[in-house]
Chains A and B, each alone.
Chain A
Amino acid sequence: MANIYKPELVKVIATRQQTPDVKSVKVCFQDSGRANDFAFRVGQFGIFSAFGYGESTFNICSSSNWKDYLEFCFRKVGRVTEALWRLEEGDVIGFRGPYGNGYPVEDWKGKNLIFLGGGIAMPPIRCAIWYALENRRDFGDITIVYGARTVADLVYVDELDQWAQHPNVRVVRCVDPGGQTPDWKGEIGFVPHVFDRAGGSSANSIVLVIGPPIMIKNTLPILDRMGIPHRAVYTSLENRMKCGCGKCGRCNVGAFYICKEGPVLTMEDLERLPSDY
């Protein structure tokens, strides 16, 4: 019987503690045939399970060009994430997916890209950044502004340096006021303000902004001032999910099922929906 709720088994090949409460995990399919067939789009998500504890939804934060493994990165907040926190190399977990629409990267060709992320919102942006760098000729200038509450809360910090090495890529890192350490060399301030101060070209840009609702809210007026239309501004929603396939009735915003028609949508789309997110 085809069982849409039964996950595939994946083996943990590496884990890494990113911050005091964030870890990233690399997994590969136990079935090597499946590992070769598996394809996804950056921006899609998976439902990961720790057997005995349950399932959790995370973005796939590795690039779709990487064939050896899938990566996800999570914050420890509850039952399932506590269990995943204890994972070690060689452990086996469950994976269902990929689900959701993903970023329309084909439509972004020829554009400048602006990535704005706050805190744990880095993973869903990271996959798009790597994808863009790996297809560098398809895109114009790349601006990345990434911030967290404190220096210790920044994830994938070493990659920020790697990204900055690429031509025409500007990486601005920041922490909230009070979150800096004595040797902090980045900016101090909230992501929207830091982005505003950093300036830069706005023409022909696509913006991907992911973070807490307040960050997105404060970013929009700046984008408006820059003249970036809301149809060029993308975000990814994190409504609570269970089934991932439009059945459990949990993730909808109006008639928009985030698990199927999202999680990625433009601000223009979002403004048409009831404010139920």
Chain B
Amino acid sequence: MSFTITQDGLSKLVNEWLARGKRVAGPSRVKRDCILYVPLQGPDQLLLEDFIRPANSLKEFLFPKHERLFGYRINGNGVELFELEPPKTEQLLIAARPCDAAALPILDQVFNWDCADEFYNRRRQLTTVVTLACSAHDDACFCTSVGLSPCAERGSDVMLVKLDRGKYEVRCHTEKGRSLMEGRLEPSDQVASEPLGPEKRFDPAEVREFVKHNFASAFWQSEGLTCLGCGACAYTCPTCHCFDIIDEGNANEGARVRNWDSCQFSMFTQHASGHNPRENQPARQRQRISHKFDIYPEKFGEILCTGCGNCTRNCPVGIGALSVLTEIGHGEHL
């Protein structure tokens, strides 16, 4: 016994949310070869099947690429600071990949240890996540190596698992998910079979051991030398969260904003003296892998990676975390 929803039922849900002025975002084909999570204008833009995953991640709906933190206005000697657009629109993230949803509880910790980032928290409260279990994977996927799976529940309010074309089993994981689906589900005898995930590719504990003891290893040189420092890996990563804070405006008025940043950029750690602790791409690659598999685990007890494979698919020179991680796992560094 299960509960199901049809594609028509989902379309109706999308229409209702949009009609109430709320936001709905999900995978959509924005160009011939490019599928992204984007805000939807209507259910026909929502793409549910026949692709691996979007090239971006969900994080931009909670932690936008560009966000105004407050405004300033200057009159003579006086300065006035004021709040700008605190997040207030409810949003539905629909047909999210489980590896994207799993990143949200991970980001929650970063934005809340010590002090709370209310920009992130408000959006998070206003967000409902409907995941769609993956029915296919490619060579870049490695969720099973980091403790997740094609139907992992983490970060998901309600999960859809494909039954037949256009029909989905619905599994509610949270109260938010249950109230979203109330009155929309049909009972059914069909139960979806557990989709198969990719084979395990490496053991994160081994990666952690390696990065702990090989800070100066030549391995990083060989991995990092071809890196362009473009940051595509970090920008498309569901869990990378580094940002920069700058002012946009003039000497009379403007706003303080934060923009996504990346540890792969050459200026990221440059001191004013000119000294740069991470002088080259190998050092920056090492930071990225160490942060995900050693530093974050030490701080928060879990890995800063959900195995989505975006860094591998989107890297213009074929690096991506997966090849680094499997090489470490296979002892190719030795």
A203 on the B face (CB < 8 A): no
Residues of B close to A81: CB separation below 8 A: 272
A276 on the B face (CB < 8 A): yes
Inter-chain contact A243/B245, CB cutoff 8 Å: yes
A36 on the B face (CB < 8 A): no
| A94, B80: Cα distance in complex, Å | 11
| A92, B81: Cα distance in complex, Å | 11
Inter-chain contact A249/B271, CB cutoff 8 Å: no
Inter-chain contact B249/A3, CB cutoff 8 Å: no
Inter-chain contact A274/B215, CB cutoff 8 Å: yes
Nearest-neighbor residue (CB-CB) of A51 within chain B: B72
Known: A51-B247, A240-B271, A254-B295. A6 touches B118 (CB 8 A): no
Q: How far is the CB of A273 from chain B (nearest CB, A)?
A: 10
Which single member of B78, B250, B278 contacts A52 (CB below 8 Å)? B250
Q: How far is the CB of B189 from chain A (nearest CB, A)?
A: 48
Which single member of B69, B263, B272, B295 contacts A6 (CB below 8 Å)? B69
| A91, B250: Cα distance in complex, Å | 16
Nearest-neighbor residue (CB-CB) of A54 within chain B: B247
B17 on the A face (CB < 8 A): no
| A275, B278: Cα distance in complex, Å | 10
B203 on the A face (CB < 8 A): no
Residues of B close to A91: CB separation below 8 A: 77
Residues of A close to B290: CB separation below 8 A: 254, 274
Chain A binder among B38-46, B109-117, B142-150, B157-165: B109-117
Inter-chain contact A77/B247, CB cutoff 8 Å: no
Inter-chain contact A51/B254, CB cutoff 8 Å: yes
B268 on the A face (CB < 8 A): yes
Residues of B close to A75: CB separation below 8 A: 272
A178 on the B face (CB < 8 A): no
Contact bitstring B99-119, A, C-beta under 8 A = 1, else 0: 000000000001101111111
Inter-chain contact B74/A52, CB cutoff 8 Å: yes
Inter-chain contact A250/B117, CB cutoff 8 Å: no
Residues of B close to A3: CB separation below 8 A: 69-70, 83, 118-119
| A81, B271: Cα distance in complex, Å | 13
Which single member of A51, A54, A92, A238 contacts B77 (CB below 8 Å)? A92
| A197, B17: Cα distance in complex, Å | 77
Which single member of A78, A93, A248, A277 contacts B277 (CB below 8 Å)? A277
Inter-chain contact B86/A54, CB cutoff 8 Å: no
B261 on the A face (CB < 8 A): yes
Q: Which residues A1-22 have CB closer than 8 A to chain B?
A: 1-7, 9
Inter-chain contact B295/A255, CB cutoff 8 Å: yes
Size bin of chain A's contact surface: 35 or more
Inter-chain contact A255/B270, CB cutoff 8 Å: no
Inter-chain contact B277/A239, CB cutoff 8 Å: yes
Inter-chain contact B110/A52, CB cutoff 8 Å: no
Q: How far is the CB of B326 from chain A (nearest CB, A)?
A: 23
B22 on the A face (CB < 8 A): no
Q: How far is the CB of B224 from chain A (nearest CB, A)?
A: 14
A182 on the B face (CB < 8 A): no
Residues of A close to B115: CB separation below 8 A: 4, 245
Residues of B close to A53: CB separation below 8 A: 247
Inter-chain contact B271/A51, CB cutoff 8 Å: no
Inter-chain contact B243/A5, CB cutoff 8 Å: no
Known: A54-B245, A212-B273, A250-B269. A4 touches B117 (CB 8 A): yes
Inter-chain contact A247/B117, CB cutoff 8 Å: yes
Most buried by A among B69, B244, B247, B287: B247
Which single member of A242, A250, A255, A275 contacts B299 (CB below 8 Å)? A255
Residues of B close to A1: CB separation below 8 A: 83, 86, 118, 122
Nearest-neighbor residue (CB-CB) of A91 within chain B: B77
Nearest-neighbor residue (CB-CB) of B240 within chain A: A249
Inter-chain contact B245/A249, CB cutoff 8 Å: no
A71 on the B face (CB < 8 A): no
B223 on the A face (CB < 8 A): no
Nearest-neighbor residue (CB-CB) of B249 within chain A: A52
Nearest-neighbor residue (CB-CB) of B267 within chain A: A240
| A49, B72: Cα distance in complex, Å | 11
Inter-chain contact A51/B69, CB cutoff 8 Å: no
Inter-chain contact A6/B247, CB cutoff 8 Å: no
Inter-chain contact B114/A245, CB cutoff 8 Å: yes
Q: How far is the CB of A236 from chain B (nearest CB, A)?
A: 13
Most buried by B among A5, A7, A77, A81: A5
Inter-chain contact B273/A9, CB cutoff 8 Å: no
Residues of B close to A245: CB separation below 8 A: 114-115
Inter-chain contact A242/B241, CB cutoff 8 Å: no
Known: A3-B118, A255-B298. A248 touches B242 (CB 8 A): yes
Inter-chain contact A4/B116, CB cutoff 8 Å: yes
B23 on the A face (CB < 8 A): no
Nearest-neighbor residue (CB-CB) of A257 within chain B: B299
Residues of B close to A90: CB separation below 8 A: 77
Residues of B close to A5: CB separation below 8 A: 69-70, 245, 256, 258
29 A-B contacts, Cβ less than 8 Å apart?
A: A4-B115, A4-B116, A6-B69, A6-B83, A6-B256, A9-B79, A51-B74, A51-B247, A51-B249, A51-B256, A52-B249, A54-B256, A55-B245, A77-B272, A91-B77, A92-B77, A212-B273, A212-B275, A240-B269, A243-B245, A245-B115, A247-B243, A248-B261, A250-B261, A253-B277, A254-B295, A255-B298, A275-B215, A276-B287
3 interchain residue pairs of minimum CB distance: A249-B242, A77-B272, A255-B298
